[in-house]
Amino acid sequence: MVAHTTNLSTTAALANGQPLLVPLQCGCPSRSPSSYTPMHYQIGPGDTYWIISTTKLQNLMQYQAVERVNPTLVPTDLDVGTMVTFPIFCQCPAAADNATTLVTYVMHPRDAYVSVAAAFSVAYPQ
């Protein structure tokens, strides 16, 4: 899905800094004007909501939104391995219950299509 959305073959290499479009399913319950895609992330050593949202997820959300959608977690006391929902907000068309939202992601030298797809919890054909 990632390669198809960006119009690349699954073996093509991206140029340094080239945008990569990641398709996300955006749920729009009750025809709400906005909603979010829940991106699930497992906390690693040294991770904080701010670090994850600003570096690993390229400022796609503010860390305060992460706090709101994870009310049972204490942001200053996260255990390694804890699963956290990071909301990637989107706008929903008035006529649709679900829509696909495209997010631009800048590939880094260490990235691969598989790892980017996994980071955003979207399918990637092997």
89 falls within a domain: yes
114 falls within a domain: yes
The domain tally of the chain equals 1
Asked which of 40-54, 66-80, 88-102, 111-125 is least confident by mean pLDDT, the reply is 88-102
Q: pLDDT band at 22, cuts 50/70/90?
A: low
Range 85-110 average pLDDT: 63
125 falls within a domain: no
Range 6-28 average pLDDT: 64
CATH number of residue 84's parent domain:
3.10.350.10
Give CA–CA dist 119/116, Å, rounded.
Answer: 5
Phi, psi of 44 (to 5 degrees): -115, 175
Q: Which structural domain, as residue segments, surrounds residue 45? A: 13-119
2 falls within a domain: no
124 falls within a domain: no
| pLDDT tens digits, one per residue of 51-80 | 998 888 877 778 888 888 899 999 989 999
6 falls within a domain: no
69 falls within a domain: yes
57 falls within a domain: yes
Predicted confidence at residue 86, as pLDDT, reads: 87
| pLDDT tens digits, one per residue of 26-47 | 665 554 445 777 788 999 999 9
* Secondary structure class of 115 (helix, strand, coil): helix
